[in-house]
Amino acid sequence: MSLLAEMNQKALTLGLPISVHLDITYRCNERCVHCYLDHDDHGEMTTAEIVDVLEQLADAGVFFLSLSGGEVLMRRDFFEIVERARQLLFNVKVKTNGVMIHEKEATRLRQLGVEQIQISVYSHRPQVHDAITKLPGSLKRTIRAIRFLKSQGLKVSIANVLMAGNFSDQSGVIALAKELGVSYTLDPTITPKMDGDTSILALRIPGSDLKQIFHNRELVGSVEEFCAPPPAPGEDIMEGIPCSAGHTACYISPYGDVFPCVQFPLPSGNVRRQKFLDIWRHSPQLNEVRSIRAKDLPTCSTCAHVGTCTRCPGLAYMEGNMRGPSTADCEKSFQRTGIPSANMLAGAQRSSMGQLIQIQAAG
């Protein structure tokens, strides 16, 4: 077991939040077509409030801190926040579109000892990237930022959200990442908007494209291993937890709301009204999330993929039941292995039952 895995296991055993994702603003200078956020400012935490939260997080044992948004540099106090975070010795990762990063900002990030900068790039072609961000010239500015950051010796990672509109440019983004000397991660997950609007889910790539990704040796390594049929689940799998959300990690919004994860919008408390540790330890919502084991999932516990699925409890929650399946992950498991999930099989059965009832009604 690596030291990092040991650290995570220890945090899990001790019930400590080792990792926190803090969005410091939802404001943004881009208007990405797939974005789930409301970019208006409804009363963000002040600098003093955020600094207080950071001190509470350090007290609570948080080691990994992701600062994200919105666009983090929309806050004038961004560097003040990073500076305090680094004084508190967090391992800081910053997620940004890079548009506002010039040499001065890149130098400051290096001086502050930020661990990694993750930058969203949707395509290597300006006409595709800029059409997604709706900010003309954004790709050029983002690439320039990456070069500034690299010249400072910072670790940069390109995050490539894949949608139907940019799927064919994926290899171009990989080549761009290689040319810039930065790492590359792809993410085919599109989530509903915060207000529940699911219209942006239409941007998701189709299953056939997912299959192509999962069978790309360059992306997954050994295809045989990655796409192997799932082994029969043992007791350890059935007693297992789905992910770190609420167990060793959580998310805090710019308004102080605490959730199990950025992708799991179950309101669990607010740091403006309660101490972070009180929320972490005593929130009924977080404790409910923590209580769930694979064996408690009505459909998924019967699924062949239960031990290997990337099932996201947050996506399941957004579909209406945190103990239910996440259909996007059912699709991923299916496209990876060719074996339908229990939920897909049940859906097919429900669908055929539905048709029978219709026929009866018509008769």
Partner 1 sequence: MMTEKYIARSKAIAARMLGGEMMVMSAADSTFFTLNEVASAIWQAADGRTPLSEIVAGKICQEFDVDPEHAQRGAERFVDELSQHGILLVSDEPLVESSPTLVSR
Binder among 86, 141, 311, 336 for partner 1 (CB under 8 A): 86
As a whole number of angstroms, the distance between CA 62 and CA 64 comes to 6
Binder among 39, 77, 113, 193 for partner 1 (CB under 8 A): 113
Burial of 224 (0-12, 13-18, 19+ CB in 10 A): exposed
* Complex with partner 1: residue 34 or 86, whichever CB lies closer: 86
Please tell me whether residue 62 binds partner 1 under the rule CB under 8 A. yes
Binder among 41, 80, 87, 151 for partner 1 (CB under 8 A): 87
CA Rg value for the chain: 21
CB of 152 to partner 1, least distance (A): 12
Please tell me whether residue 63 binds partner 1 under the rule CB under 8 A. yes
Please give the C-alpha separations between residue 16 and each of 206, 270, 276, 278, in angstroms, as whole numbers.
38, 18, 12, 12
CB of 308 to partner 1, least distance (A): 27
Question: With CB under 8 A, what is the number of residues at the site for partner 1?
Answer: 26
Binder among 73, 82, 92, 250 for partner 1 (CB under 8 A): 92
**Beta-sheet pairing, 183-187 with 249-252:** unpaired
Task: Put the strands of the sheet holding 91-96 in their side by side order.
Answer: 183-187, 156-161, 116-120, 91-96, 64-68, 19-23, 249-252, 257-259, 269-270
Please tell me whether residue 89 binds partner 1 under the rule CB under 8 A. yes
As a whole number of angstroms, the distance between CA 61 and CA 281 comes to 13
Please tell me whether residue 361 binds partner 1 under the rule CB under 8 A. no
Sites for partner 1 among residues 151-190 (CB under 8 A): 155
* Complex with partner 1: residue 16 or 100, whichever CB lies closer: 16
Please tell me whether residue 49 binds partner 1 under the rule CB under 8 A. no
As a whole number of angstroms, the distance between CA 138 and CA 126 comes to 8
Our CA angle for 341, 345, 350, nearest 5°, is 140
Please give the C-alpha separations between residue 131 and each of 72, 141, 242, in angstroms, as whole numbers.
21, 14, 36
* Complex with partner 1: residue 183 or 189, whichever CB lies closer: 183
Please tell me whether residue 7 binds partner 1 under the rule CB under 8 A. yes
Cβ atoms 148, 108 nearer than 8 A: no
Please tell me whether residue 11 binds partner 1 under the rule CB under 8 A. yes
* Complex with partner 1: residue 58 or 220, whichever CB lies closer: 58
Binder among 115, 257, 288, 319 for partner 1 (CB under 8 A): 115
Please tell me whether residue 55 binds partner 1 under the rule CB under 8 A. yes
Please tell me whether residue 61 binds partner 1 under the rule CB under 8 A. yes
Q: Which stretch binds partner 1 (CB under 8 A): 56-64, 186-194, 256-264, 267-275?
A: 56-64
Please tell me whether residue 278 binds partner 1 under the rule CB under 8 A. no
Backbone phi and psi for residue 138, each to the nearest 5 degrees, phi listed first: -65, -40
As a whole number of angstroms, the distance between CA 226 and CA 101 comes to 37
CB of 98 to partner 1, least distance (A): 19
Please tell me whether residue 126 binds partner 1 under the rule CB under 8 A. no
Cβ atoms 323, 343 nearer than 8 A: no
Please tell me whether residue 18 binds partner 1 under the rule CB under 8 A. yes
Half-sphere exposure of 80 (CA within 13 A, CB side): 12
Please tell me whether residue 90 binds partner 1 under the rule CB under 8 A. yes
Backbone phi and psi for residue 184, each to the nearest 5 degrees, phi listed first: -130, 130
Please tell me whether residue 3 binds partner 1 under the rule CB under 8 A. yes
| Residue 79 CB partners (closer than 8 Å, separation 6+) | 105, 108, 112
Q: Which stretch binds partner 1 (CB under 8 A): 109-117, 127-135, 180-188, 285-293?
A: 109-117
Please tell me whether residue 58 binds partner 1 under the rule CB under 8 A. yes
**SS3 per residue for 239-279:** CCCCCCECCCEEEECCCCEEECECCECCCCEECCCCCHHHH
Contacting positions for partner 1 (CB under 8 A): 3-4, 6-7, 10-11, 14, 16, 18, 55, 58-59, 61-63, 86-92, 113-115, 155
